[in-house]
Chains A and B, each alone.
Chain A
């Protein structure tokens, strides 16, 4: 039986490892040249920093995951640097280095990960402005800081992790500015105790930053990224409602993560709106089987944000479900343990959402002139005009009219904010405006390659 696993982050690695341990040889397809995903991203082979330098407190986990990945890659039919750009008729369409392919499957596990969730602000398309995840990639995978004096803003644990990693590596941080108020973080503490180790790490990062004199604020409101041809600073409102400007030549921001669900959409998964993630996600049962379509399994942040630890467990869980469905005996004790572990992480995750809430209100009242869709240079005004112009009441109709989401990224970057703006304009719940439909190819493909 032919099994395809898409993605080589923590979820994909453990899924493949589990399948191999039960006698299978899956076809393992990943876009990156090296397995590891984002948190455990590995630089190119000729880089020298050790895992402690690269991953800090997660070094041991990273080493274990990379070890597992490398071992699995020796047994699996491993195809790195290969994009899956469509799924239909029981096969995936691939684009590897220089050529296309078609890989049929009997079962497929999608572990497609996530990217930062962003809200457009004036100036966000300027050179020198990146996502928090992007700043982390520059550091981890390229050994570079995104600028000489870096401003970080947004919310979520990644804000503090990236700040810590950059400062520790010798980058100059101008400020670390969190939109979540201190009170939100305090009220989340009971839930965050569900993973006391993770919570302790968070405290450690904040304490370290404080001890090293990094300016940090909570409860801020982002106003504008300053500059004409590139970023030169950031203007914001403090928790005390005064306006402040901080100078810097690089800005990185993000508000948590959002799942990459386009392949799940093309594979025919049924979607449901998830209030915690505030995103439409592929629906699955409690073991990772996709609902609405047979032979599709989901794992990791690509099916709902829960972090790297949860992704490892979910990858194993999906593989165990697949094996069970194929009549292969698996350990029920192990399944129970995974279920228990993931339940704890889910409580922690709820705590994170409470500590670092997504500031949807900032998206909803985005100024008309702000570029909302950066691929197509569509402003918030244009999206709002679709409501007046053709009575657009859901995202795809609005997209057809004003081009939001029609560009190269197919709405990955602007989709969350576009939904907020449209829902606000219509005065409806966020779920009511639907989601942008996935269309192949999930990423741009040169005509010459086709």
Chain B
């Protein structure tokens, strides 16, 4: 392939989820030309079909600075992307169903305070008094008033549209099949033979980013995670905060229209990781867990069950940061099913690093090196 036929820009972004789209937007804000390459449509995969929780509470500590930065951006969404994405600060309620789970909650509250997170610990009585719709074996919980929910179907594509309006070259329907590092930058090759070249490359390829990283000798094992979510018909609005439990086997939110969206467990995925579908038995388990915690859900009808494909790393936290092998290459992937809230900040921080060489947001705990140093 002749290098002179490659499309060139200051930066290439591989992947059009919320991570890639926010990266493209921030690159444009810093005046860099950018080509974003997306296999399907922007915000169509995990970014567009996830649960929609926007929370800081409950994250690994290494994620909290990024999450705090993201929370600022969430509040500023209308200015940044033109819509609020139905972002609502409903608060997030994390429930503990046993002594062990309460210990996890208490420890997190303690540690998170050091990162500026205000979380209120609640014992069982206080919890039941405040949230009358709770039932079942709940020992207590923690309430994070600054967290909330949003609509991923609106937000993720909107980041792409904002990037496009800002002058990013968004190329959809392009499947990149190969990539290599060269002297002056990075070359990506599409299935149809077209090529793209830039001195900076942002690997935001979601579940498939581990394979992309391997093109550049930074092999990180990514396993597909298939979050399964379902939604009820609209019912009377009673559940204010977004709900989660220690262990993550249930997450739930009620939207202003009245539908209750809740999920847990995993569905099934095709060999190529491109198609996923729900597992009926998992739906039943999740429904039972939900009814155990919110008895009045029993009467509502489920109208739809769906799944998405995300990527899991070995330690449950994403890879975000510069490559350790190639200057100008940046990684952002492996969000383990909880990347939606982080997405808007990932782009901001990576672009800080790419343009300024530093960022006020500490992502040192999310570097790719923590996986590269391990034996395979």
Residues of A within 8 A of B (CB): 86, 88-89, 93, 100, 102, 389-390, 397, 400-401, 406-408, 410, 439-441, 444-448, 450
Q: Which size bracket describes the interface of B in this complex?
A: 20 to 34
CB distance from A103 to the nearest CB of B (A): 12
Q: How far is the CA of A88 from the CA of B280 in the complex (A)?
A: 9
Chain A binder among B141-149, B286-294, B326-334: B286-294
18 new A-B contacts, CB < 8 A, other than A450-B288, A450-B302, are A88-B268, A88-B277, A88-B279, A89-B268, A102-B280, A390-B158, A400-B48, A408-B301, A439-B278, A439-B305, A440-B305, A444-B302, A445-B302, A446-B301, A447-B291, A447-B298, A447-B299, A450-B283
Q: Is the CB of A100 within 8 A of B291?
A: no
Q: Is the CB of A439 within 8 A of B306?
A: yes
A sample of 15 cross-chain residue pairs with beta-carbon separation below 8 angstroms, ordered by A number, consists of A86-B280, A88-B279, A88-B280, A397-B41, A400-B153, A408-B303, A440-B280, A440-B305, A444-B301, A445-B301, A445-B302, A447-B301, A447-B302, A448-B291, A450-B302
For A389, the chain B residues whose CB sits under 8 A away are 161
For A447, the chain B residues whose CB sits under 8 A away are 232, 287, 290-291, 297-302
Nearest CB to that of A441 among chain B residues? B302
Q: How far is the CA of A133 from the CA of B13 in the complex (A)?
A: 53
Nearest CB to that of B295 among chain A residues? A448
User: B353 at the A/B interface (Cβ < 8 Å)?
Assistant: no
Q: Is the CB of A439 within 8 A of B304?
A: yes
- Selected from A88, A401, A439, the residue in CB contact (under 8 A) with B153 is A401
Nearest CB to that of A407 among chain B residues? B303
User: B77 at the A/B interface (Cβ < 8 Å)?
Assistant: no
Q: A88-B280, A93-B280, A440-B305 are in contact. Are A446 and B299 (CB under 8 A)?
A: yes
For A89, the chain B residues whose CB sits under 8 A away are 268
For B279, the chain A residues whose CB sits under 8 A away are 88
For A397, the chain B residues whose CB sits under 8 A away are 41, 44
CB distance from A442 to the nearest CB of B (A): 10
For A406, the chain B residues whose CB sits under 8 A away are 304
CB distance from A311 to the nearest CB of B (A): 29
For A100, the chain B residues whose CB sits under 8 A away are 284
Q: How far is the CA of A447 from the CA of B304 in the complex (A)?
A: 11
User: B233 at the A/B interface (Cβ < 8 Å)?
Assistant: yes
Q: How far is the CA of A103 from the CA of B99 in the complex (A)?
A: 40
For B304, the chain A residues whose CB sits under 8 A away are 406, 410, 439-441
CB distance from B293 to the nearest CB of A (A): 12
Nearest CB to that of A89 among chain B residues? B268
CB distance from B23 to the nearest CB of A (A): 19
* A89, A389, A406, A440: residue with the most chain B Cβ atoms closer than 10 Å: A440
CB distance from B252 to the nearest CB of A (A): 11
User: B128 at the A/B interface (Cβ < 8 Å)?
Assistant: no
CB distance from A2 to the nearest CB of B (A): 18
Q: How far is the CA of A448 from the CA of B283 in the complex (A)?
A: 12
Q: How far is the CA of A102 from the CA of B298 in the complex (A)?
A: 21
User: B337 at the A/B interface (Cβ < 8 Å)?
Assistant: no
CB distance from B173 to the nearest CB of A (A): 11
CB distance from B165 to the nearest CB of A (A): 12
User: B73 at the A/B interface (Cβ < 8 Å)?
Assistant: no
- Listed from nearest, the 7 A-B pairs whose CB atoms lie closest are A444-B301, A448-B298, A450-B287, A400-B153, A93-B280, A390-B157, A450-B284
Nearest CB to that of A391 among chain B residues? B161
